[in-house]
Amino acid sequence: MEARTAPAPTAQREAGVPAARGPRDRHRGGSLLDLGLNFYALLALVYLLVPIAVILVFSFNDPRGRFNFIWEEFSLDAWGDPFGVPGIREALVNSIEIAALSTLAATALGTLTALALVRYEFRGRAPINFFIFIPLATPEVVLGAALLSLFLNNAVATGFGTIVIAHIMFSLSFVIITVRSRLIGFDRSLEEAAQDLGATPWQTFRLVTLPLIMPGVLSAALLAFALSVDDFVITNFNAGSTVTFPLFIWGAARVAVPPQIYVIASMIFLFTLAMMLLTVWQQRRAERMAAVRSEPEEA
């Protein structure tokens, strides 16, 4: 098989097929190795998706005991009453409020920092880059425990406020890195053009820079929001008596796992999935329209 495929690209190129498409086409051959690799990848996908399917399925379960671990019978009870477990609504509201506040702050602070890091030459940039990286390389337990040390030593009562502080802290590095990667390919001449046309620095930023980096800022904000809603470890250290959704689950996991937990998880899942699909669909539509427009040129 290998001997047969090796000279193929030359033949393809002579036939006028673009070389760039070569390797991908070659892999489409139905050899045993190809099939095996595809099957293996499929298994990996199944591994990724089965636990999610289990959550969706078990949200319709009517468990006998306190733990929703064994399938008994189909029931819509939990979906009909998703907040039927005391405390779950408050926990969810807390999570969303904390995520909104910390996302707003972390995105603003992180975008400014990223701008400074990419746009300007100044002393100390390399160590600052390293400093921003360290929180990412630090285990969450350590981040949480260290912050608690600060609060303990200064007699700060932990609660809603300290959770927001913690979430801004751990989101910042992610935001900075996300926005920075968007800024790296940024065309400075666009800003120069704006300034040549008499725009003030603030106008340049608001009308040129910000719209151009907006996709990066938005994806950073989404990331920060997701990290915040999902965080358990650092929150656990700095929550005091405030309960977020992950903390609620943790508390529940030891005494009882009602199907409502799976229902709310399913709701969040379906909502996020719908949002993602909408974005992907829009992107594809935009791409398709762009392709239609540029087609005469390509041909």
Partner 1 sequence: MAARLRKAGLPYALLIPGLGWLAIFFAIPLLYMLFESLKQGTIDTGFIFNWEFSNYTNALSDFSEQFLRSFEYAGLATLFALIIGYPLAYVIAFRGGRWRNALLLAVIVPFFVTYLIRTLSWETILSDSGFVSDTLRTVGVLSEGGRLLDTTFSVVAGITYNFLPFMILPLYASLERIDPRMLEAGYDLYGRRRDVFLRVTLPLSMPGVVAGTLLTFIPAAGDFINAELLGTPNQYMIGNVIQSRYLEVADYPTAAALSFILMALMLAIVVLWARVAGTEALLGTERERR
* Stretch 136-155 residues interacting with partner 1 (CB under 8 A): 136-143, 145-150, 152-153
The sign one gets for the Cα dihedral 89, 93, 99, 102 is negative
The residues in 259-298 that bind partner 1, with binding defined as CB under 8 A, are 261-262, 265, 268-269, 272-273, 276-277, 280, 283-284
Stretch that binds partner 1, among 83-91, 190-198, 242-250, 289-297 (CB under 8 A): 242-250
DSSP 8-state assignment for residue 123: T
Q: Report CA 39 to chain centroid distance, whole Å.
A: 27
Among 35, 93, 184, 286, binds partner 1 (CB under 8 A): 184
Compute the distance between CA of residue 145 and CA of residue 117 in angstroms, rounded to an integer.
29
The 3-state DSSP class for residue 268 equals: helix
Give me the least distance between CB of 190 and partner 1, in Å please: 19
Any idea what DSSP says for residue 257?
B
> From the list 85, 99, 177, 243, which residue makes contact with partner 1 (rule: CB under 8 A)?
177
Q: Of 114-133, which residues contact partner 1 (CB under 8 A)? A: 115-120, 122, 126, 128-133
In which region does residue 120 sit, left (phi positive, over 0), alpha (psi from -120 to 50) or beta (all else)?
Answer: beta
Going by the DSSP 8-state scheme, the letter that residue 61 receives in this structure is B
Q: Which stretch binds partner 1 (CB under 8 A): 6-14, 82-90, 187-195, 210-218?
A: 6-14
Residue of the chain from 166, 217, 221, 224 that contacts partner 1 (CB under 8 A): 166
Residues 185-224 that bind partner 1 (CB under 8 A): none
User: Which of 169, 170, 183, 188 lies closest to 111 in space, CA to CA?
Assistant: 183
Query: Alpha helices of 120-187 — where are they, by DSSP H?
Result: 125-137, 140-153, 160-184
CA distance 297 to 299: 6
Query: Which region, judged by CB under 8 A, interacts with partner 1, from 83-91, 106-114, 187-195, 213-221?
Result: 106-114
Residues 13-72 that bind partner 1 (CB under 8 A): 19-24, 26-28, 33, 37-38, 40-41, 44-45, 47-52, 54-55, 58, 68-71
Q: What is the closest distance, in whole angstroms, from the C-beta atom of residue 53 to partner 1 in the complex? A: 9
